[in-house]
Structure 1
């Protein structure tokens, strides 16, 4: 669905769908501690739009998970999200992803 942000958490994989932006991320942000308990992958392939606030929450989810001893990788990066991460010069050590 290409609208408000939706997500599903299953066996350590957080799948995101729709739009991840300043207007849609608050419900995910409020659940970040629960989401990051055993997070190992964030699937972003079904996101149709991500703004800088969305990029920031992805960075926070990775950081929170790492602080709990979990390595997290982003999968399904599209060209726009890849470009946004490059514009901010984010190293793979901070923003780990596979295409």
Structure 2
């Protein structure tokens, strides 16, 4: 069974761990919709994502908008190549370039 969870790593950082797919997005998104922050910049580490599909990509887009509505700028770190490819294929990679932090592994 697939699983995915949000792990707070501090006041300004969290990780998404597991498989971010159409099977796991509904439960994770229901949790994240309740997420509130007063922080101006928040880092979401994707280093421990095992798999991501287009539903996972869509959820991340909604998460960025949810944070923006709270005046918070999310930076995605350690973006898996699979997710970056989905962004490119969807022709939205340039729209979200300001949310992607290039990190060396």
Is it true that 1:7 corresponds to 2:6 in the alignment? yes
The structural deviation recorded for 1:35 is: 2.5
Is the contact made by 1:16 and 1:46 (CA closer than 8 Å) also made in structure 2? Answer: yes
TM-score by length of 1: 0.84
What runs of 5+ residues in structure 1 fail to find an aligned partner?
none
Greater radius of gyration (CA)? 2
Question: Counterpart in 2 of 1:60?
Answer: 62
The structural deviation recorded for 1:37 is: 2.4
Is the contact made by 2:84 and 2:93 (CA closer than 8 Å) also made in structure 1? Answer: no
What runs of 5+ residues in structure 2 fail to find an aligned partner?
none
State the number of aligned residues: 97
Question: Counterpart in 2 of 1:79?
Answer: 81
Is the contact made by 1:12 and 1:38 (CA closer than 8 Å) also made in structure 2? Answer: no
What is the distance in 2 between the residues matched to 1:91 and 1:83? 9
